[in-house]
Amino acid sequence: MKKIAVFASGSGSNFQAIIDAVRKGELEAAISLLVCDKPGAYCIERARTANIPTFVFNPKNYHSKADYEQEILRLLENEKVDFVILAGYMRLIGPTLLKEYQGRIVNIHPSLLPEFPGKDAIGQALAAKAKWSGVTIHYVDEGMDTGPIIAQERIRLEENETRESLQQKIHAIEHKLYPAILQVLLTKGEVISGKKACTY
Ligand code: GAR
């Protein structure tokens, strides 16, 4: 069974969906670690409740990204983590982690990439009066939400769409799609998305 580490910065509702899917046997993986860059974030509480070890750090206490990523890398290697799963981790992954884990780091983003990358994808979609947005699951590279796409699901925006209503629709999709795609990726090593098959 593959071992995963989840990286999160916020509430961690996607982290919770992964925990629940593992518990139900729908996602055959072992969650070895939560990595969180925001002391006090609610995802830490979720890890505690689920008895998942955590590494919580404040980037301000390190000289550089390389310094804290080196510490994270040591933990990942100690635990023999196979895959890194980003779930609302609001930081770019640097060369230290990419060197060892490229092709084994997956992210979920609340838009149809390449549209609306970066922060506040929901706000960007609303400001652009987009007719469609959605969710993208992709491999992570050195860019901002630029890695190869694994899966996407579309959402039609209503005329009176609000931040709250769109957020709710996005989360509803994310909480189903992420565990389902991870199950295929971690157990079969490939994901069929539309006409494309991505392998690692
Ligand atoms: C999710 O919607 C995720 O797609 C987004 O942050 C949210 C975290 O929610 N990620 C990004 O914007 C990454 N660029 P959660 O903490 O409730 O899982």
Model confidence pLDDT, tens digit, residues 125-151: 999 999 999 999 999 999 999 999 999
Distance CA 38, CA 58 (A): 6
138 counts as catalytic: no
- The tens digit of pLDDT for each residue in 8-61 reads 999 999 999 999 999 999 999 999 999 999 999 999 999 999 999 999 999 999
How far is ligand 1, taken at its centre, from the CA of residue 88, in Å? 4
Do the Cβ atoms of 42 and 11 come closer than 8 Å?
A: yes
Look at residue 63 and tell me whether its pLDDT is greater than 90.
yes
State which of 7, 11, 14 you would mutate to test the pocket of ligand 1, scoring each by most atoms of that ligand within 8 A of its C-beta. 14
User: What is the domain partition of the chain in residue ranges?
Assistant: 2-199
What separation in angstroms does the CA of 140 have from each of 58, 165, 169? 22, 28, 24
pTM for the predicted model, two decimal places: 0.94
pLDDT at 69: 98
SS3 75: helix
**What is the DSSP code (8-state) at residue 129?**
T
pLDDT in tens, 90-119: 999 999 999 999 999 999 999 999 999 999
Give the residue with greater pLDDT, 194 vs 66: 66
Non-local CB neighbours of 69 within 8 Å, separated by 6+ positions: 93, 94, 96, 97
88 lines ligand 1 (CB under 6 A): yes
Query: Taking Cα atoms as reference points, which of 77, 88, 55, 79 lies closest to residue 175?
Result: 88
Inform me whether the pLDDT recorded for 192 exceeds 90: no
Q: Is the dihedral of CA 197, 98, 137, 26 positive or negative?
A: positive
Q: For 2-199, which CATH class?
A: alpha beta
Report residue 191's pLDDT band, with 50, 70 and 90 as the boundaries.
low
Residue 197 pLDDT > 70: no
Burial of 85 (0-12, 13-18, 19+ CB in 10 A): buried
pLDDT digits (tens, 9 = 90+) for 30-44: 999 999 999 999 999
Eight-class DSSP state of 100: H
Q: Which residue in this structure is represented by tokens 């069929």?
A: 192
From 109, 138, 171, 175, active-site residue: 109
CA of 178 to the centre of ligand 1 (A): 11
Q: How far is the CA of 191 from the centre of ligand 1 (A)?
A: 21
Whether residue 86 has its Cβ less than 6 Å from ligand 1: no
> Is 70 exceeded by the pLDDT of residue 198?
no
- Nearest residue CA, atom 17 of ligand 1? 13
Distance 196 CA to ligand 1 centre (A): 25
pLDDT band at 86 (very low <50, low <70, confident <90, very high): very high
